[in-house]
Structure 1
Amino acid sequence: MNNKGIPTSDMAHTLKLLGDKTRLTIMGLLNVRECCVCEFVEIIKMSQPAISQHLRKLRDADLVKEKRKGQWIFYSINEEYSGYPLVKDILEYVPDSRIQLKELDEAGLRVCCD
């Protein structure tokens, strides 16, 4: 365990998960706002099943949480996760995703989730 109270095994697992470009991109988007799978599909240009697999890994590790809104499931960063301070520090180095999310809104592609 380090001085921030995060077990080394949790740190290693978190770093392994965030070492994947797609999962790091997802976390960067979630650092701006909650999103649903269809938004990730449009921004990352990857199939829905592939995105869902990445989200499952993040959810299983407790890095993200989900909330149902009607038929849609929205994902957000789990700030209660024991390794959240590490995640927060890492996300400071991820390029800002606001432009991608704004373009998604302007293209009317977020509407499918409302």
Structure 2
Amino acid sequence: MEQIHEAAEKLKLLGDKTRLTMLSLMKEREWCVCEFVDILEISQPGVSQHLRKLKAQGIVKEKKQGQWVYYSLNVDDKPYIKDVLQYMPDTKTILSGLNKEGVTSVCK
């Protein structure tokens, strides 16, 4: 029963459109908080709150580079999340749908 509880807690996080979008973007590369702020047009504290929840459940990992923190997927041991993300659109499609095709990283 513990496995079911653990999976349910992680899958709950995917029920949020913003978090699911963030995870879908992370399928192809790591992203900085500032990039998510620009793409999703939500505040930095809002983005950080979503990422904190995902990190607490072990779905994303962070890497610090200078003053920037980059987030990437950590789902190799979570095949049920990998399966869900497999059906999500790619980065180009997501950015196009958000009218953000020309977004480039400002965090470097």
In which range does the TM-score fall when normalised by the shorter chain? 0.7 to 0.9
Distance in 2 separating the partners of 1:32 and 1:78: 12
User: Does structure 2 retain, via aligned residues, the 8 Å contact 1:32–1:98?
Assistant: no
* Distance of aligned partners of 1:98 and 1:32 in 2 relative to their CA distance in 1, 3 Å threshold: farther
Report the identity percentage. 50
**Counterpart among 81, 96, 99 of residue 90 in structure 2:** 96
Structure 1 length-normalised TM: 0.82
Unaligned runs of 5+ in 1: none
Task: Determine the C-alpha separation between the residues in 2 that align with 1:96 and 1:9.
Answer: 29
Aligned counterparts of 1:53 and 1:30: Cα–Cα separation in 2: 17
CA contact under 8 A between 2:75 and 2:81: conserved in structure 1? no
Question: Does the 8 Å CA contact 2:32/2:69 hold for their aligned counterparts?
Answer: yes
Instruction: State the partner residue of 2:40.
Output: 44
Q: Which amino acid aligns with 1:91?
A: L
- Structure 2 runs not aligned, ≥5 long: none
Q: Could you tell me how far 1:11 is from its partner in structure 2?
A: 1.2
Q: Post-superposition shift, 1:102?
A: 5.4
The number of aligned residues is 103
Segments of 4+ in structure 1 off by > 6 A? none
Instruction: Give the alignment's Cα RMSD to 1 decimal.
Output: 1.8
- The 1-side partners of 2:40 and 2:28 are apart by 15
1:10 CA drift (Å): 1.4
Within 2, Cα distance between the matches of 1:50 and 1:60? Answer: 16
1:56 and 2:55 matched: no
SS in 2 for 1:95: coil
Matched, 1:13 2:3: no
